[in-house]
Structure formats: structure tokens, C-alpha cells
Structure 1
Amino acid sequence: MKASVRFPVSPTLLRRLAYTSIIANVAIVVTGGGVRLTRSGLGCPTWPRCTDESYIATPEMGVNGAIEFGNRLLTFAVGVIALAVVLAVLAQRTRPRGLLPLSIGVLFGIPAQAVIGGITVLTNLNPWVVGLHFLASMAVIAAAYACWKRTTEPDGPVTPTVPAPLRTLAGLTTVVSAAVLVVGTWVTGSGPHAGDQGAARNGLDPEAISQVHADGVFLLIGLSVALFFAFRAVGAAGAARAAGVLVAVELGQGLIGFVQYFTHLPAVLVAAHMLGSCLVLLATLGVLWATRERRPAAPPAPATTATPANEPVTAAV
């Protein structure tokens, strides 16, 4: 049987493609926010077509149609990058365990996220569905991050780098970070940037839900600062650096959040805040990964030759 041809893909190229996938998925979150902030959410009034008669935006639809259709096209670009990662993984002669399922998860997560985006259009930008659309993007980013990290790790056993109580604290911080993202979508759904003049709001009191969100942010920052000092106390330098990055990102994100609230949510700051949400997620995952490491698998022990039972053993004189 003729051997199949395998196109060589270096591990370095694979890592770069996986990293590019993270960037692309963050970028489409920001551009998706731009669609909403420019009131172009219904620039294409239906889905999967842009209009009932056309899959693409027409000149009569104006700039809003062009913006919404352009964001839909970006989804294909992000999908192509994810497909390239899967193909690069398949081209490896040996691949880390779990890498292929992660890369496939990212690839299929992108069309799933696009379908939720289509539902937002079909439901006239229902704020709860819009929030789910954002959270689906966060899930894809998390999977893309895990895929990238797996390409940089040896294929060995997982070893903790910090004591168990600190791993639990890092897990709690991750849960609080996710909760802050969820509540943030509720704040957005109660605010003025609906994506279209006719889109409904979720009915929550903007001031009250913003306070809940702020309380969650304060808790998250407190936990992150505690992690930083606890990691330093046990000598976990890598984990302490990751926690320091998380605190810095959170402080920057919090500053943007407060400024945008007291300046009545200017579109530029709202877009920056959406980017900050992605960075907070990535920094949180960075802390979680820093609490463990993979070490190269130990080489197999050399085989020993046993002395036959009926063979006499001679002692050296």
C-alpha cells in the first residue's frame, strides 16, 4: 500500500497558528461590539441571508448594512484560521494528548457562535440572546487559549506548582471572573447601546445592575491580589507573575468601566471595555495554567536481563 503524503508543519508554526486563532477570536468580539455601537445590529435584517433576496449587503442598505455584512465575513476568516490549526495538528508526527479535540472544539465553536449571532438578528436583538452571543465568544476564546497552551507544553504528567489550597483559590477566582463577565452582559442589556433603535432592553435597572457588577469586580480584584501575595509567599514565581498581570488588567478594565459609566457610555470606551473583558478572561486563564505544569515524560527504564534459574552464578575471585 502506498504511504500517504504528510505535509510537514513545524511545532513553531503550529504554536503561531494557535496564537493567531486567539487574536482572531478576540478581534471578532471587538468588531461585533462595533456593529452594536454603530447601531448596525440589524444592518442585515435577516439571517443567514442579508436580505430576503440576497446573501450580501446591497448599496441601498447603506453603511449599516456594510458594517453588519463585513462582520459576518470576518467569521469566515476566523473559521479559516481555526481550520488551519486543525490541519496543522493533524500534520504533526506526534501530537500532545488532547490537542486535536481542543482544536476541533474551536473550529466547531465558531459556527455555533455564528448561529447564535443569527438568532440575535431573528429575535430583533433580544438583549438576553445578545449576551449569550458574547458569552459564546468567550467560551471559544477560552478553548483557543487552552489549545495554544497545549502546543507549548511537553506531553507529560500534570504537576501542581502551588499547594492545593491556592489551587482552590485560583479556581474560585476563575469562577468569580466568569460571573463578572455574565453580569456584565446584563449591564450591557440594560444600557443605551441596543444595536438598533427599535431593539428592546432587558428591563433591569441600569444603576442597580451596574452596582452588582462593580461589587463583583471589587471581589475579583481582592481575590487576585490575595493570589499574588500568596503565590509569592510560597515561592511560586511564575504563578505570582501571572497573578500580577491579572491584577494590572483588572485595574485597567475597572478604570475604563468607571469612566464610561460616569461619562454616559461613550462608544469608544464601551469598545475598549469589551476588549478589556477578553483580556481579563485570558489573564484569568493564565493564572489557572500557572498553578500547574506538564513535565516531560520520563524515558522508559532499560530492560534488565535476568539470570536463568538453572545457570550457575560464578563469583569473582
Structure 2
Amino acid sequence: MLDLNLSNLSSPSANGDEPLKMLVIGSGPAGFSAALYAARAELAPVVLTGMELGGQAALTHMIENYPGFPEGVGGSELGDLFQKQAERFGSITEFDTATEVDLTKHPFQIKTESGEYQANTVIIATGARPNHLNIPGEEELTGRGVSYCATCDGWFFKDKKVVVVGGGDSALEEALYLTRHATSVTIIHRRDELRAGQILITRANENPKIDFIWDTVVTDVVGDEKVASVKIKNLKTEEESAIETDGLFIFIGHTPNTDIFDGQLALDDGGYIVVDGLMQTSVEGVYAAGEVADPHFRQVVTSAGMGAAAAIQAVRYIEEKGL
């Protein structure tokens, strides 16, 4: 890893000289992919890591569906490789978090916990966080049976029993995917009817591996080194019980990390940044990539592709504007 710090450089953030050509906010697959492409174009991009170096992918124990790793790769290891590859070509990683932005004037102004940056282009790759149940045992057993991505972790539950929480499209899509590996999938929903599309409901009802528990919430995740069971409570009868399970998959929605961009950029009803096919946001020179602008796929490979596309377009913008 390159040991570079803007405080030691003649950088615009340090002394008010020329602005950075590119600032990348976020250090997941989209952020480092964008940094790699920008660095190879000799833009010397600066990457603000945020609170989670490597993004959500770094929290996944093993990623087996990213091309080029036939035996799989650890999430944190893949994030480290992304970082090293970008830094090899001159990308600078700053362990800092953006706290405020002003995209109404150019160069763009970005304040962080430890300083302030100016940049001619900005690529936002702050990701989205899965909504949590916020119950005992959930955080402690995340990665040890508690998961928020069936596509990422389903393989590890081959011939095992799992529980899925949720009642929307994502919950049913992921539950159906889990039936490829698990012996049984129990869907727990807090209401007495699903919110998913009818096609998914029909598929779930017809799948012999799927069972439903209605009007119920999970109140506790139990296990020492891994998930062993979950405690549940019926919201109508208030009856409490426990279910033995090897895994708990939680699909109650995602929240994009766009709080500091509210009022600065166009967001959709879910709070995701609106982009066009070129990853361009509603502000010229500002791009978004990865899960912060992707409510549909949320995969490492798609996020990396979006990051590359955003950087390519940002390079063209810089060239066209003579920046």
C-alpha cells in the first residue's frame, strides 16, 4: 500500500492550489474500480475510504461469484487487492469520511472529518447499507450465519436449514435462490400477506422447500460461534417460540448512503442517486456508481463495472472541458 497523505503533498486540499482532477467518495468495488481507471488515465484520483474500507463486500466471508477467482476470494482480501491495484497506478487512498458537500459551484467542495477538498470531478460510490433488525445476536453473528445476501453466501448453506425475514420482492427472490442449496427455507413475515409481485409469490408457494410463518417477527439470534436458532414472536397472539436454523437471511430493504447529497443531487423515491446510462448525475461533472445508484443488482461485479464506466466518462468530461 502506498503511504501517501495529502497533508504531505502540494495538494489543493492542503494549500488551495489547483483542485484535484477527481475525488472518489467511497472505497468499495465501485470506488476502487473508478480510481483504477482514473489513475491509469493519470488523473491521480484521491479516494475517501469512509467508515468501511472495501465497502459492504469486505464484510462477506467468501465471494465466489467474482470473475477471476475460481476458488473464491475473501471479501476483505478482494478489497485489499482492489486498493493495491489502484494505488499501483497512482491513486491515493485517504482514510477519511466525507461529511458535507457543495456541488452547486465548481470546483466542487467536499468537507471531511479532517479537512476540505476541491475537485473538478466527483465520483460518488458510498454504497447502500442493508436494513438491520437491530435485535440481540444479529451484529455478533453477522458472517457466522447472519447474512444480507443470498447470492453471496447461499452456497455455504448447502443441505442446511435457513430462515428468511421479509415479504417483498428481494426476500422472495433471495429465498427462491436459497432453495438451490438449503434443504428448507422458512420465510418469516410480520404481516399476513406478502408485498412481492404475484409471479414471485406463485413461485414461492409452489416451491416445496419454502414454508411461511405469518404475523411474526424475529426477536433474538441465538448461537455461540455460529447461528443455532432464532427466537420469534407472533404479533397477534404475542406467543413466543424458537426455531432451530443454520442461517438467518435478512431482506427488509436497503438504505443508500446519500444523506449528505440530499438537496444537492436528484434522488429517486428510495433515496438512490439518479444516473443516466453514462453514470452522470443531475449535476454535470458528478457521477455515481455502485449500490448508491443501483437498487436492483447490488453485486460486486456490477458495482465494479459501474465504477469503471463512471471513471471513463469523467475522464472524457475533463478532456472536453480542458480541465
What TM-score range do you get, normalising by the shorter chain? under 0.3
Which entry has the higher C-alpha Rg, 1 or 2? 1
TM-score (norm 1): 0.26
TM-score (norm 2): 0.26
